[in-house]
Amino acid sequence: MMNLSCFSTCGTLVLLVLLFWGDVPKGPSKVYAVEEFEKHYIEWDDLTVADESDQGLDLDQRKPSKVIVVDKNGGGDSVTVQGAVDLVPEHNQLRHKIYILPGIYREKVRVPKSKPYVSFIGEEGRASETVITWHDKASDKDADGNEIGTFGTASVTVESDYFGAREVTFENSVVAIPGTNNMQAVALRLKGDKAWLYRVRILGTQDTLLDESGLHFYEECFIQGSVDFIFGNAKSLYRDCILHSVANGSGAIAANHRDTPNQDSGFSFVHCQIKGTGRILLGRAWGNYSKVAYSFCDFDDIIAPEGWSDWNSTAKERTVEFGEFRCRGKGAGRRNRVAWSKSFSFYEALPFLTTQFIHAYQWLLRR
């Protein structure tokens, strides 16, 4: 054990080195304080498995972690993803990388609140072949005969903090038929704080991604749905994502649930592409103070010209913040947009544009 003053001095030094040098020496001379510091960050290492054959402790990497291999054909530590999550100890303090070999995993998965620092990692370039899929819809009944409701439908639920995912697909295979009720079917429910999803595919129709709470970074993700297919009260930055509409007749992308003026939440889409079928709204005011921005996005000709909906409440028109900044493409014309949506100035757009929107300096170390 080192004494306290060294702990904080070394810690500060290492922090400075990390911030300004960008690299630290590898090997066993690791300073304990680094781990304390690193625990509160998600970084590229956390989304990387050095070598497929690496099992157990991943010593090749600068940051210690444990790898659990999921292989549906029996060659790994578990044949199911939930089986791997179950191997992570409660109140775990070490990054656990669940390395999922390509395959269709038909199961409902839950990462409980008590298991932080978990990553789901697929093989590079094979996200569409590495699929976790289930098929619950809101009208389905639980064991007591009660409807499970939208939130209970998620194929994958993540309750824990510091979650990471890379190159895997989360799917709910229910196809909501337009004009029917209770077909909401969530693919991913993300309610833990501080999560980074990279090249992840999230597939469904109605209510695909329940972006429930916390700070989240979605980078180069593919998200598919029809009605309110990104919904919840998280504070999230979606950057370089493809939002793929499968709407038939009508639909909406973002239904943000920010309900009071002091809630630090909202959805920001930057450099995203919107394609697929329409007509689809950019957003609907689920919460009274719903906040959604699209900046530098590319809109195909599927955006409903009015752009946004107040969800049948004119009172919300005064309190929501719906804005567009320098978007382009056939659907980007704002001539017929509802008057209470905004064409942002640079200064209005600025808070939405960078990872500062999600307070990244507190928890995200990007490569």
Ligand X SMILES: *[C@@H]1O[C@H](CO)[C@@H](O)[C@H](O)[C@H]1NC(C)=O
8 A C-beta contact, residue 324 and residue 292: no
Q: Which is nearer to ligand X, 56 or 249 (CB)?
A: 249
Instruction: With contacts defined by CB under 6 A, name the span among 128-136, 307-315, 332-340, 358-366 that binds ligand X.
Output: 307-315
User: How many angstroms separate the CA atoms of 43 and 363, rounded?
Assistant: 9
Q: How far is the CB of 258 from ligand X (least distance, A)?
A: 10
8 A C-beta contact, residue 186 and residue 151: yes
Nearest-CA neighbor of 364 among 216, 185, 210, 181?
A: 216
Q: Which is nearer to ligand X, 145 or 179 (CB)?
A: 179
Selected binder of ligand X within 315, 330, 343, 345 (CB under 6 A): 315
8 A C-beta contact, residue 123 and residue 116: no
- Bond prior to 189 in cis (omega within 30° of 0): no
User: How many angstroms separate the CA atoms of 330 and 107, rounded?
Assistant: 40
| Per-residue burial over 283-310, b = 16 or more CB atoms within 10 Å of its CB, e = otherwise | bbbbbbbbbbbbbbbbbbebbbeebbbb
Instruction: With contacts defined by CB under 6 A, name the span among 308-316, 321-329, 346-354, 358-366 that binds ligand X.
Output: 308-316
Question: Residue 49: what are its φ and ψ, rounded to 5°?
Answer: -110, 125
Q: How far is the CB of 320 from ligand X (least distance, A)?
A: 11
Q: How far is the CB of 278 from ligand X (least distance, A)?
A: 12
8 A C-beta contact, residue 221 and residue 202: yes
Q: Is 259 in the site for ligand X (CB under 6 A)?
A: yes
Q: Is 333 in the site for ligand X (CB under 6 A)?
A: no
The distance in angstroms from the start CA to the end CA of the chain is 31
8 A C-beta contact, residue 298 and residue 273: yes
Q: How far is the CB of 60 from ligand X (least distance, A)?
A: 48
**Residues 6+ positions from 228 with CB-CB distance below 8 Å:** 206, 207, 252, 253, 254, 255, 284, 286
Tokens representing 42 are 């998600």
Nearest-CA neighbor of 241 among 265, 271, 215, 278?
A: 271
* Active-site residue flag, 228: yes
Instruction: With contacts defined by CB under 6 A, name the span among 5-13, 42-50, 184-192, 310-318 that binds ligand X.
Output: 310-318
Q: How far is the CB of 205 from ligand X (least distance, A)?
A: 10
Selected binder of ligand X within 53, 181, 262, 312 (CB under 6 A): 312
Nearest-CA neighbor of 215 among 117, 362, 38?
A: 362
Question: Residue 35: what are its φ and ψ, rounded to 5°?
Answer: -65, -40
Restricting to residues 26-55, which ones interact with ligand X according to CB under 6 A?
A: none
Site mask for ligand X (CB under 6 A), range 171-200, x = bound: -------xx---------------------
Selected binder of ligand X within 80, 250, 273, 288 (CB under 6 A): 288
Q: Dihedral sign for Cα 295, 296, 297, 300, please.
A: positive
Q: Which position among 228, 259, 298, 310 bears the catalytic label?
A: 228
Q: Which is nearer to ligand X, 284 or 337 (CB)?
A: 284
Task: Give the interface size with ligand X as a residue count (CB under 6 A).
Answer: 8
Selected binder of ligand X within 151, 296, 311, 340 (CB under 6 A): 311
Annotate 23-47 with DSSP letters as a single string: ----SS---HHHHHHHTT-EEGGGG
Q: Which is nearer to ligand X, 139 or 288 (CB)?
A: 288
Selected binder of ligand X within 92, 173, 248, 273 (CB under 6 A): 248
Q: How far is the CB of 178 from ligand X (least distance, A)?
A: 4
Question: Residue 270: what are its φ and ψ, rounded to 5°?
Answer: -125, 130
Q: Which is nearer to ligand X, 63 or 244 (CB)?
A: 244
Q: Which is nearer to ligand X, 138 or 188 (CB)?
A: 138
Q: How far is the CB of 175 from ligand X (least distance, A)?
A: 8
Q: How far is the CB of 309 from ligand X (least distance, A)?
A: 7
Q: Which is nearer to ligand X, 27 or 179 (CB)?
A: 179
Q: Which is nearer to ligand X, 240 or 317 (CB)?
A: 317
Active site residues: 228
Binding site for ligand X (CB under 6 A): 178-179, 248, 259, 288, 311-312, 315
